[in-house]
Structure 1
Amino acid sequence: MLLVSMAALLIIFPLVQGREYDWPMWTFLMMAGSVVVFVAFAMYESRRSKAGRDPLVVPSLFRKRGFSGGMALGLVFFSTMQGFMLVFNLYTQIGLGYSPLKAGLVMVPWSGGMIVGFGIAQGVARFGRTVLQAGTLVMALGVFGVWLTLDVVGSGVGPWQLLPSLLVTGIGMGLLMAPFFDIVLASVEQHETGSASGTMTAIQQLGGAFGVAVLGTVFFGLLGGGIASAVDHHSAGLRGQLAAAHVAPAAQERIVADLRTCTSDRAVAKDPAATPASCTRLEKDTGPAMSSAQAGDRIPAALKATASSAFRSGFGSVMKTLLWIVDGMLALTFLLAFLLPRHARPEGSAGH
């Protein structure tokens, strides 16, 4: 147990903290070390089993295609689920400015959909693996619906507009999760069920942590560039307002460039309370322009409006990219499901 916990720590910690420390060499060494520790854990469990002692994880489990496939599927799916929930909540709270309560209420259709999905799955359980795969497709459809909503509505999207797609996403998740554990356990012997169940629970937790780490890292990795591109998109309007305030063309270019860097740096700042150097430079370059133009609050108002619009649209652009990644992971989940048994073990069966 110590070895597998250490291996999980060695891979999850650098993924979570790597961005904050600008990805030093030790983060990559830790991730490589996690592979070594996982191998050491597997060897230890194998020796323990051969010596006739009870291993934490029965090695023979991983010689069964259904169980190994189920573990791979579980790792991918639970990473997808937890990672999606993280980035979506970051988007609603930071990108759209929702309060924590409002952001939580936005997820109610998701939770309600899961309940509906579980109920449907109970009624069609006889179809076994097909139910799980259908749930994957329904969930992928719901995620695409979220993407389509953001693409059509834009940065002004509201909770009611997100409701249908989140409801469908939740139904798909319920359909997928309901038969998952029973179908995977159908591939193991009766005496292996206890070890298999514990391993599946561990994979669920590891997958969730891995998804939060990976998709969170990707999200913030894309965010700076996404917001910088959004400022570029809004720069023509800003230049027009600066020209109307009689700001010289050279000063306009300097201010736009400073705003681009400042907005991007603020979005990915490790300490939200700190003022990035680029924002200090923006204030310094804006001062003479305001003085010469005698424009009062016109220039600060234009900068604030442009930054706000770019912030929201940049978050939306990055969120849409993450949604494609989530749908790709769901496609992989669908394919991995072919490795599972077709049906769950009938009640009272002694296994095979």
Structure 2
Amino acid sequence: MINQVYKLVAPRRLEVSYEDISLNTDNVIVRPKYISICKADQRYYTGTRGEEVLKKKLPMALTHEGVGVVAYDPSGVFQKNQQVVMVPNTPYEKDDLIGANYLPTSKFRSSASDGFMQDYISIAHDRLVALPDDIDMRMASFSELISVAMHGISRFEKVAHQRRNRIAVWGNGSLGYITTLILKKKYPEAEIIIIGRTKQKLDYFSFADEAYTSNDLPEGFSFDHAFECVGGNNSGVAVNQMIDNINPLGYIALLGVSEDLVALNTRMVLEKGLTLQGSTRSEREDFEAVVEFFEKYPDGVEELQRLIGQVYKVRKIEDIINAFEKDLNQYWGKTVMEWQI
């Protein structure tokens, strides 16, 4: 079966590649339906990952956030036209201690292998999680980002001490919004606080107990644990604010990605006995937890739907380019491509 794959060959330049998909394997064939654009995709698309990185990675199909419908499953585990979310991480070994999302041998789509911008995806059974029939597929398209927050919170639950009266989240973007929402649902008795740079974006966080801009924290502000969802060049400023204001023996989850080295106040990390833990990507169990969240918290799904930004119908390569270009200037939420190519 000939498959069309839409690959980035140079910054802002896409071309079609024709590749064979074998139907004589155990893999499921999935037709993408909605694909969400991530900031990591944009760093490749705009060429800001750097020339050396691009030389190693390109040509490559972008995107790792997507949902689709099953076109063919030789085993019959999934039914034809069943809605599924695709897990972008592909493991090649199993380690009893280290999760597949931390193993260097794993290949992550749109980073170490082709992403979801294809006519069809050949994918292993364990890389698919069934979605409810009535789910908003536009919202479900960014389940991968939700799973990243879910994974970070699962690690927090295993490591952080049990005094969880006040939990603060830095970052008023999509990841901060999702993390704050999940924390509020999981810890309804706790005070969940959001800190961001933009007052207008903080207004979206109606479910948070407190909201502050990062340059206007109240006198005596403190909390038990914190989540960093800022990333980029401002992540260092955010983490140092956390270190300054967190209570002794607190836990800080690092979820934001920065391309540059970040200077941290390690003296106060030692003095307060803090735990800083990094989390990246996610695995199948995190996607399963996301689907459970969808089913358990319909009001949470309504809040997540507020992250749906512009939705672009994609029928040709020019539509993909248009979606990526418009996404660069999107103020709030996630750009979603309705995949009709």
TM-score range, shorter chain: under 0.3
Structure richer in helix, relative to its length = 1
TM-score when scaled to structure 2?
A: 0.25
Structure richer in strand, relative to its length = 2
Higher relative CO (Cα under 8 Å, sequence separation at least 6) belongs to: 1
TM-score when scaled to structure 1?
A: 0.24
